[in-house]
Chains A and B, each alone.
Chain A
Amino acid sequence: MAETKIRVLIAKPGLDGHDRGAKVVARALRDAGMEVIYIGLRQTPEMIVEAALQEDVDVVGLSILSGAHMAIVPRVIHLLEEYGLSNVAVFLGGIIPDEDVLVLRELGVRGIYGPGTFLDDIVQEIRREVTAH
């Protein structure tokens, strides 16, 4: 049976310019057979959710290394709900302190990946999360 491709939106919210991780992950997901839409830098939560709607994605991947995640990620989740996209799985990569990880998990972020994470682990977890829901 042919599987439908998992559609992933990758975005860099806020003013953070560190896009190495986002790009590496985007490539790995694409190489793993997913449909990846990379919308790049300086995205507001509104722009991200709008794109998620337009592109009809299963997953939104956010990359934030600036420390602004607590101002941005809850807003993205809130807007996804508002747009009726609460089935879209949100994943986060970056430098996220442990205490924030707990809060963001509680809010519904499915996976949070810090420095040193293996690409294959991210691929597996996204697959698992998307097919399980």
Chain B
Amino acid sequence: MQDQGKIESVRQAKEQWEDTTLRNTLERWPERCESFITTSSEPVERLYTPLDIADLDYERDLSFPGQYPFTRGVHPTMYRGRLWTMRMFAGFGSAEETNARYKYLLAHGETGLSVAFDFPTLYGYDTDHPLAAGEFGRCGVAISCLADMEILFDGIPVDEITTSMTINGPAAVIWAMYIAAAEKRGIPMGKLGGTIQNDILKEYIAQKSWLLPPEPSMRLIVDTFVFGSKYLPKWNTISISGYHIREAGSTAAQELAFTLADGLAYVQAAIERGLDVDSFAPRLSFFFNAHNDFFEEIAKYRAARRIWAREMKERFQAKDPRSWWMRFHTQTAGCSLTAQQPENNIVRTAIQALAAVLGGTQSLHTNSMDEALALPSELAVRVALRTQQIIAHESGVVNSVDPLAGSYLIESLTNRLEAQAYEYFDKIEALGGVIPAIKQGFFQREIAASAYRYQREIEERQRVVVGVNEHVSDEPLSIPLLKMDPEGERRQRERLARLCRERDNALLQERLAALRQAAQGDENMMPHILGAVRAHATLGEVCDVLREVFGEYRETAII
């Protein structure tokens, strides 16, 4: 809280400045536009002063890093202690090709792994399923069985490095494969560290790769919370994700609000199952986008930490400070990349990555320059990784914790985003909560409207996209694009067919029957999924049991 007399004096001085210095300038040199807006189409003022944060109370609203409400970061020393994990999202074609890419990235200094799966895998279909036609390895690596998973991590020390897996509907199955593959190498599950995305709510909202309807999906997710807290204490059993919400076209405030609303819904669901909040909350993690608008993004991360800490402490009465802190991964904005003049994307990504670091991210993926055209080439992904390394070692921004705190602009934007998030929480509450709001198409409509407005702003040139609506060039494309091994799909199909012939099919049927029984009752499904996977059940076979018991989700199409 600032001194009221001082604030009044600044107010008067500002009015005087506006009437004299500013007015004279505006008369002679008008500004370039009538109004200035952020990437989220929010107004930005000409100048921020102490007047904009007159109510800010340092100890209450910001405090110190590593202390409630964690606005300034979750660790007291932040990047002075340890840099963020440089975790490049990667996966394409067959398990062999992706394994080679992981080794390449590790050799170039990345410090964590992150798996991208192809669409059939994301939907719980094996490579040989009719709906998988043409999709093999296109948007990520195809993993249908334990043997594929073993090849994916062959020669990689999974007991030393953490792995994040972007998998949602079938997250429990893929996680079981990771656990079983490590076991076969003699690494017990308790030693494994990493993350499964496992965030189904944002699938219905934005990413659209689901398996089951919302209610059984929530049950399966809570099953993984319970299993993880018992057996894999170093594993993040969920990564509550705003990334895809933003990519689908939302504003920063919508990304923030919808992600946190999802997070609160998971906490509520787990508590309703009778779990103690402090038994699972420390393993909840988050995932945000880093879009173009530098200050808006930094403010978003800071607001996210403050809101989460408050809700966990006050609404859910968590006692363990680790339940209050929000740890998150960040990925730069894929939707900001242009197919035109792709080299420009290196610069966009660098600015976005810098925002994530100044916002206090725990891990970071930087997109490659060619991603509006294809999956990244080795050259492109190396430049993207080097971007992080340059920020870490050359820019100097890591030397002080939360260096932008106290900026009138940053604190004011942080407050505004926080207030906007609470407005959305109220709207979602009024619709009956997150799942009813999904079923009513609320999130989908909000996001579609923002996406459309953004595109219109580009077309009407209210927004300049360099290389697209300004500074256009028709020089031919000059960067090499990735080509996939045409033999990968055949090899993997053969492996799958061989596996199905050679495994103990009687044991497999027994394990699948046990899973079916657990699914029909109320037993935790995770041990049974692991049992089935150990007996070489394929991804599709396990998911078929779940689909059979719970049915499939169907979306009402909304534009």
A interface residues with partner B (beta carbon < 8 Å): 10, 14-20, 23-24, 26-28, 30, 36, 38-41, 44, 66-72, 95, 97, 114-116, 118-120
Contact = CB atoms under 8 A, between A and B. Distances in A.
B138 A95 contact: no
Given A17-B208, A39-B557, 8 more contacts: A15-B209, A17-B207, A71-B134, A72-B134, A97-B373, A118-B459, A119-B459, A120-B459
Given A15-B120, A20-B451, A97 B374 contact: yes
A14 B134 contact: yes
Given A15-B119, A17-B208, A27 B132 contact: no
Contact of A97 (B123, B131, B481): B481
Contacts of B123: 15
Contacts of B249: 20, 24
Q: Label chain B's interface by main secondary structure.
A: loop
Interface of B: 119-120, 122-123, 125, 131-135, 138-139, 207-209, 247-249, 335, 337-340, 372-374, 448, 451-452, 455-456, 459, 465, 467-469, 481, 555-559
18 contacts: A14-B131, A19-B208, A20-B451, A23-B452, A23-B558, A24-B249, A24-B455, A28-B452, A66-B135, A66-B138, A66-B139, A68-B134, A71-B133, A71-B134, A95-B374, A97-B481, A115-B337, A115-B372
A17 B247 CA distance: 12
A48 to B, nearest CB: 13
Given A41-B557, A116-B338, A23 B372 contact: no
B208 A27 contact: no
Contacts, number: 102
A66 B373 contact: no
B448 A67 contact: no
* Majority SS at the chain A contact face: mixed
Interface centre among A15, A18, A24, A120 (most CB of B within 10 A): A15
B459 A30 contact: no
A110 B151 CA distance: 43
A115 B372 CA distance: 7
B452 A27 contact: yes
Given A17-B207, A17-B209, A19-B248, A26 B135 contact: no
Given A41-B208, A115-B338, A116-B338, A23 B448 contact: yes
A88 to B, nearest CB: 20
Given A15-B132, A26-B559, A67 B139 contact: yes
Contacts of B467: 116
Contacts of B557: 38-41
A29 to B, nearest CB: 10
Given A15-B123, A95-B374, A116 B339 contact: yes
Given A15-B123, A17-B208, A20-B335, A67 B138 contact: yes
Contacts of B465: 116
Given A17-B207, A67-B139, A23 B559 contact: yes
Counting from the closest, the 4 A-B pairs by CB-CB distance are A71-B134, A40-B557, A17-B208, A68-B134
